[in-house]
Amino acid sequence: MARAGAPRAAHRPAGRADDLQRRRVRQPPPPHALRVPAGPHGRGHDHPLAATPPSLGVGRRLRVGLAGGRAGQARPAGPRPGAGPVVNGVVYVSHNGALEPLGRSQVLPYLRGLVRHGIRISLVTFEKPRDLAQRDRADEMRRSLEAAGIAWHPLRYRASLAGKVVNLLQGAWTAARLARRLPAGLFHARSHMAGAMALMARFVRGGRLLFDLRGELAEEYADAGRWRRGGALYRATAALERRLLRRCDGLVVLSERLARRVPARPGREVEVIPCCVDRTLFVPSGAGVPEAIRHVAGAPLLVYSGSVGTWYLLDEMTRFFARARRRIPSLHLLMLCPDPREHPRIRQSAERAAVPPSSLTVCAESYERVPLYLRAARAGIAFIKPVPSKRGSSPTKIAEYLACGLPVIVNEGIGDLDSFVEPRGIGAALRSFDDREMERGVGFLEAAGSDAALRDRCVRVAAELFDLETVGVARYRALYRRLGVA
């Protein structure tokens, strides 16, 4: 026989759950949020460090959200019960900055394209202090994004370990706050750190999560020699990646090779979207030769564009050039490196390869001016460490070279390059860096000067595989629709 108090005892938890749900979903914006007054370039806005309302207990909720709830309980994928319908608002979180070259080439063009299709986007980025110190650039970026219809919320990047914890909590709270204000039904996280922020924000706000996997991060750090496999940072990052792969509703990878490696999971939408190129900017012809290379106008140029950091084999590239000069004496090496601090290293590598200074030009240029240099070249080069983690890579520079009509000299084992560079007749993919393979690459470079159809083939492959609008934006938009964002 049931006890008299049983019905009331059963009723109380349900009421508390309803109350918690109402507080989570309908909580109004905090009245004590900091407000930045209007400046000369726009309206006032909530400060990203606006205080967390004590009544919400957000700090505790964020910690639990990253851990995935109570021990032994798995939360189902997709919106939480009661979180409301998915709408056409998206909170995009990037741990990189919009003011960095990577942000300008591989974040903003896609978002501008998506906004043109009616999707509302709030963008959260972490900007380096040196970039924020250039107020004119930051103000210009804000005006540009406002004109495009993107609400930009830049936060200050902190590089220390303790600072990254601050980044994590600040990013999660900002994303959750914006999701309520937009409102948004989808968190789009670019890479792992942003994914951790989005997991936490989704626990607070509900909605769906799109994880943009830019590579196997723990494996990359191990391959670079920075982390020890089995070490604490490696294990923590690998565990975060596994959690994101389990809990995301949508997944983006850069290559078909990596897509085949990701464990299948029912109900998860997967899309392969390589690093694409804006073919209205990177075009194969145009007027004008930049001043920095005017002294070698008419000479065949071999160009490298980008940083020469961890993954790029600088010594192998300068050795290849030195070998190529023996067969093409007028060949000139152009190194477009955006960080002047890397320029001495480039010159030292060229000196070790016995490249005369008169055959080398090293300069830094803005992203928007890079196409002027590429159009003047005969071919583009990019040798990358062929380590296992690079199977998920899609080098942006390859798409930019091809869009400007340049064939490519690359090495095998990087993303999907093996599947189209040599099969489509647009370059040489070296199997190793021994003398025989180097000579094979030099032979291709020499023949490229007399192949009248080569540049057109490169442009066609760029249009088919890497076009920003017809490949990048179109695939993101299709994935957004499958995740419920109109």
What is the predicted pLDDT for the residue at 264? 87
CB 359 within 8 A of CB 331: yes
What is the predicted pLDDT for the residue at 78? 41
The highest-level CATH class for domain 291-466 is alpha beta
* Tokens, residue 309: 């950091």
- Tell me whether the CATH fold assigned to 63-68+83-276+467-486 matches the one assigned to 291-466: yes
What is the predicted pLDDT for the residue at 23? 39
List pLDDT tens digits, range 324-346: 999 999 999 999 999 999 999 99
What is the predicted pLDDT for the residue at 49? 37
In the predicted model, what is the mean pLDDT of the chain? 85
- Spell out the domain ranges in the chain: 63-68+83-276+467-486, 291-466
What is the predicted pLDDT for the residue at 60? 41
List pLDDT tens digits, range 379-425: 999 999 999 999 999 999 999 999 999 999 999 999 999 999 999 99
DSSP per position, 334-397: EEE-S-GGGHHHHHHHHHHTT--GGGEEEE---GGGHHHHHTT-SEEEE-B---GGGGG---HH
Highest mean pLDDT among 71-80, 187-196, 221-230, 288-297: 187-196
Highest mean pLDDT among 43-52, 66-75, 183-192: 183-192
Region of 298 (left: φ > 0; alpha: ψ -120 to 50; beta: rest) is left
Taking 80 as the threshold, does the pLDDT of residue 486 lie above it? no
List pLDDT tens digits, range 264-315: 899 899 999 999 999 999 999 876 778 888 888 789 999 999 999 889 999 9
CATH for 63-68+83-276+467-486 is 3.40.50.2000
What is the predicted pLDDT for the residue at 363? 95
Distance CA 416, CA 413 (A): 8
Task: Check the CA dihedral 105-110-112-116 and report its sign.
Answer: positive
List pLDDT tens digits, range 339-383: 999 999 999 999 999 999 999 999 999 888 999 999 999 999 999
Distance CA 294, CA 108 (A): 32
- Residue 101 pLDDT level (bands cut at 50, 70, 90): confident
What is the predicted pLDDT for the residue at 87? 58
CB 342 within 8 A of CB 307: yes
Highest mean pLDDT among 15-24, 60-69, 442-451: 442-451
Give percent above pLDDT 90 in the chain.
73
Q: What is the pTM for the complete model shown?
A: 0.81
